[in-house]
Chain A
C-alpha cells in the first residue's frame, strides 16, 4: 500500500512530462539534421548530426534582427509597464480600501478583453492617428494595454503581502509617504518586481495578433511573427533552421519561467484570494 502511494506521483507525472515535452525534443532533434534528411522517414532517428541549420539561421535569415526587435519592444514595454503598474498596484493594495478592491478587479477584467477583438479598430488608429504603421513603436505603444492590467494585478498581490507596519515605522521616522514607498516598500518588493518583469516580457514575446496586423515589412518583425511567416512562407523551407530558432528561444525562457513560478502563483492568486 505504501509503495503504491509512493509510486503514484511518478506513474502520473512521468507520462505527462514525456508527452508534454516531446515536441521540444523532436524540434531539437530536427534542428540537428541536414535539410536533405528531414523528409526521409528512414532518417527519423538515425542521421549525422550537424549544426549547419543554426549557421543558416544566423547568417541567411532575419532571425537576429527579429531577436533584436523583440528584445527592444520587450524592454520598452517592461519599463512603461513598471512605471505605471507599480504605483497603481501599491495604491490599490494599500491606500484605496474597498473602492480599491473594486477598481483592482475592474482593471484586471480589462486584461480579459482579447486582442482579437481590438486589433481591427487599433490597426486603423495606429495607422491614421499615430502614424506608426509598420513601426516597432506601434507595438511599444499598444502592448502596455494588456501588460498593465496584468502587472497591476500581480503588483497588488505582492504589496498586500508586505506588512503596512513597515511603512508606518518609516512614516513615524519622518519619511513622507512617497519616500517610504521609494526607500522601504520598493526595495523589499524586488522579487515581486522581477516576477512582473519576467512575465511582462514573456507576454510581449508571445504577442502575435497585433504584431502581424501592425507590422508589414520583414525587417520590422518580431520573433513570434517572423518565424511562422517569413521562415515558413519564404522561398526555401528550412525545417532544421526553423526548429532551431524555436528551441533557442523556448528553453531559456522556460528556465527563467520555472525559477519564478512560485512567486507568480503567490502574486496571481494573492490579489484575488487574500
Chain B
C-alpha cells in the first residue's frame, strides 16, 4: 500500500517537473531568440526588401523597382571583378591555411619543451584585433613608400632585387591582391590550427592502440585511421574560414580599399562603397546579397559534417 502511494506521488511530481521544464526552457531561451530575431532576422529581411527598391541614403523605403538593382550591379565591370576577387581571396587564402594549419597541428600535438611559449607566438595573429594588425601590415607593406617597407629591405639584402628596387606591395594590382591574401591567410592560420588540434586530440587512445595491434603504422595509419576520424572537425573549421573570409571586409578595406584601379574590390568593400559612400542603399544591399548563396551552401555542408563528427 505504502509503496503504491509513493510511486503515484513520484509520478505526479515527475509530470509536474516535466511541465515546468517545458515552460522554464521557453522562458530561458526566448530572450535570446527574440534578440536574434530582431537584430539578425529582421535586418536580413529588410536587406532583401531594400535590394528591390531604389532606397538611397537617409531613407529606409523606396519605390519598388524589381530586379533593376541586381541588373545594374551585374552590368558593372567593377562588380564582376569584385565577385572574382572574392573567390580568389577566399580560395587561395584558405588553401594556404589548410596546408599550414595541418602541418602545425600535427607538430603541436606532440609534447615538447617550449610548446606553450611557441603556441603563444602562433596565436598572436588571431588574438590581436584584425583592424589594428591590418594597419600594422599596411606599414609593413611600406604604406605607399616602397623604400620604407621592411619586406623590401629583406628583398634587397637577400639580393633578390637591386638596391634601388623593391615592390610597391599595395600599389600594383597583382601585388596588392597577393598582399591582402597573405594577410588573410596569416590571420586565419591560428584558428584553423587550434581546431585541427582539437580534432587530432579527440581521437581516443584506444583507436590508436587498436590500429597498432592491427599492424597499421606511419602513413597508412594516418590515411586509414587518423585522417578519417579528424576530417569532419577539420572540414567544419575550413568551412568557418571560408565564410569568414568571403564575408570579410576589414583586410581589403584597410589595406587597399579596393584599389589600385578597383583591382582588389571584393563583394563587401564594393557593397560598402556603393551603399554607404555613394548612398545607394538599394544597390548596395543587392551586391551584399550575392553572398547569400555561398552562405547557404557552406551552412548545409557544415550541418552535414558536424553530424558526421558527432557520430564518429
Q: Give the segment of B167-175, B220-228, B268-276 that binds chain A.
A: B268-276
Interface size in chain B (residues, C-beta < 8 A): 106
Q: Is the CB of A254 within 8 A of B124?
A: yes
Q: Is the CB of A242 within 8 A of B104?
A: no
Q: Considering only CB atoms, which chain B residue lies closest to A85 in the complex?
A: B32
Given contacts A8-B107, A20-B189, A145-B35, contact A246 B136 (CB under 8 A): yes
Q: Is the CB of A41 within 8 A of B148?
A: yes
Within 8 Å of chain A (Cβ to Cβ): is B198? yes
Q: Is the CB of B289 within 8 A of A100?
A: no
Cα-based distance from A228 to B132 in the complex (angstroms): 7
What 1/0 flags go to B1-33 for Cβ under 8 Å of A?
000000000000000010011101101110111
What 1/0 flags go to B281-301 for Cβ under 8 Å of A?
100110011011001001100
Cα-based distance from A100 to B25 in the complex (angstroms): 9
Q: Is the CB of A121 within 8 A of B40?
A: no
* Chain A residues touching B, range: 35 or more
What 1/0 flags go to A5-38 for Cβ under 8 Å of B?
0101111111011101101101100100000001
Cα-based distance from A84 to B281 in the complex (angstroms): 32
Q: Is the CB of A253 within 8 A of B127?
A: yes
Cα-based distance from A131 to B77 in the complex (angstroms): 37
Q: Is the CB of B24 within 8 A of A91?
A: yes
Q: Is the CB of B28 within 8 A of A87?
A: yes
Give 22 A-B contacts (CB < 8 Å), ordered by A residue.
Answer: A11-B107, A13-B108, A23-B137, A112-B298, A114-B248, A114-B268, A119-B272, A125-B43, A127-B58, A148-B36, A177-B20, A178-B24, A208-B249, A209-B250, A228-B135, A246-B136, A249-B129, A249-B132, A250-B133, A251-B128, A254-B120, A254-B127
Cα-based distance from A109 to B233 in the complex (angstroms): 16
List, in ascending order, chain A residues with CB within 8 A of B143's CB.
237, 239
List, in ascending order, chain B residues with CB within 8 A of A125's CB.
43, 46, 60
Q: Is the CB of A116 within 8 A of B132?
A: no
Q: Is the CB of A116 within 8 A of B247?
A: yes
Knowing that A87-B29, A110-B36, A116-B288 touch, tell me 17 more A-B residue pairs with CB under 8 angstroms. A16-B189, A84-B35, A112-B243, A112-B302, A114-B248, A120-B275, A120-B276, A120-B281, A121-B50, A125-B46, A205-B129, A206-B131, A245-B132, A255-B120, A257-B123, A273-B202, A273-B309
Q: Give the segment of A54-62, A189-197, A219-227 that binds chain B.
A: A219-227
Q: Considering only CB atoms, which chain B residue lies closest to A271 in the complex?
A: B306
What 1/0 flags go to B30-48 for Cβ under 8 Å of A?
0111011001110110110
The interface of chain B, by Cβ under 8 A from chain A, is 17, 20-22, 24-25, 27-29, 31-33, 35-36, 39-41, 43-44, 46-47, 50, 55, 58-60, 100, 103-104, 106-108, 110, 112, 115-116, 118-140, 143, 145, 147-148, 150, 152-153, 156, 186, 189-190, 194-195, 197-198, 202, 233, 236, 243-244, 247-250, 253-254, 267-268, 271-272, 275-276, 281, 284-285, 288-289, 291-292, 295, 298-299, 302-303, 306, 309-310
